Amino acid sequence: MTPSAILAAAIEILEEQETRPGPLDLIVGRYQRQRRYIGAKDRSALASRVFGLARRHFRLGWRLEQAGAPTSPRALLIADLLLCDGLEPDEISTLFNGGSHAPPELNTSEWSWLLRIGPSPLETAEMPAAVRLECPSWAWDGLYDAFNDRTELQLSALLKEAPLDLRVNTLKSDRRSALAAIKRAGFDAELTPLANTGIRLPHRVALGRLPGLLEGVVDPQDEGSQLAAIALAPKPGERIADFCAGAGGKALAMAAAMGNKGRILALDSDKRRLDQAGPRLSKAGVDIVERRPISNGRDPWLKRQVAKFDGVLIDAPCSGVGAWRRNPDARWGRGQPDLAKLTELQSSILDRAARLVRPGGRLVYVTCSLLPQENQIQTDAFLTRSEDFSYAPQIDFPIQVPNGHITLTPADTETDGFFIAWLQKKI
pLDDT in tens, 50-99: 999 999 999 999 999 999 999 999 999 999 999 999 999 999 999 999 98
Alpha-carbon distance 212 to 410, whole Å? Answer: 27
pLDDT in tens, 85-99: 999 999 999 999 998
Answering whether pTM is above 0.85, one says yes
Instruction: Please determine, for residue 206, whether its predicted confidence score (pLDDT) is greater than 90.
Output: no
Instruction: Please determine, for residue 153, whether its predicted confidence score (pLDDT) is greater than 90.
Output: yes
User: What would the mean pLDDT of 5-34 be, rounded to a whole number?
Assistant: 91
341 in Cβ contact with 147 (< 8 Å): no
Delimit the domains of the chain by residue range. Answer: 3-121, 164-220, 223-425
Q: Does the annotation mark 318 as catalytic?
A: no
Which CATH class, in words, describes the domain spanning 164-220? alpha beta
**DSSP codes, 17-42:** HHHS---HHHHHHHHHHT-TTS-HHH
Q: Map residue 306 onto helix, strand or coil.
A: coil
Residues 6+ apart with CB under 8 A from 303: none
Angle subtended at Cα 417 by Cα 411 and Cα 420, rounded to the nearest 5 degrees: 120
Region 3-121: CATH code: 1.10.940
Is 3.40.50.150 the CATH number for 223-425?
yes
Catalytic residue among 135, 244, 318, 368: 368
Amino acid letter, 290: E
